[in-house]
A and B are shown apart, each in its own frame.
Chain A
Amino acid sequence: MDNITLKIVFFGSLKSYFGSQLQMNVTKGSNLVLLVKQLADMVPDSIPMLGSCKIAVDSELKSEDFSIVQSHEIAILPPFSGG
């Protein structure tokens, strides 16, 4: 199976678990749910926060069934608090 290297960027409270960014390998064709489960396995304490996050792929919000077939920047977005 081909692996794809992703750049994952984190914001807000998630940075205390993962730092600002990391690189991660995923299997080609896996979806965003699998990606988040990998993150949850890495840092189980982050699970409550990950559960409230949205995900952007190359700056566009995507649903959880989005299929990863090439390298992207993936942003994990906690609930917003601007304004």
Chain B
Amino acid sequence: MTAGGCLCGAVRLVAHGMERELGACHCKRCQRWSGSALVVVSVPAEGLKVEGRDAVATYVVPGRSERGFCRTCGSSLWFRYLDRPDATYDICVGLLDDASGLPLTHEIYIDEKPDGYAFAGEHRRETGAEREARRMREESAE
């Protein structure tokens, strides 16, 4: 069980079955939304308990994705695809009360990352095209 919450405390998250690794998305949409790379940890939809749901606002691209944020303090909460049956929540790592033991293992949309910064370490890095091709393969395999 892992817990986290927004800056003002209106929204608290309790996660079961959370993955033990982080992923970063460098697409321009995630950059705009979060201020830089969106670094997340995946939680299955059935494993996430949201306390203070009244304070959660969502920005939705219909049929595609949803971004959750706290309407009081603006904290970025999660990203999830809406066009996948599992609708996994990608929880923003900054919310976690304890983010230890969660290595960054993959980066996507690396081709949209500004040249000015980069994460250290060797791990999987995919362009946007590679990421979307993998997503389509995974969906057709389901």
User: Is B a genuine binding partner of A?
Assistant: no
A residues bordering B, Cβ < 8 Å?
Answer: none
B residues bordering A, Cβ < 8 Å?
Answer: none
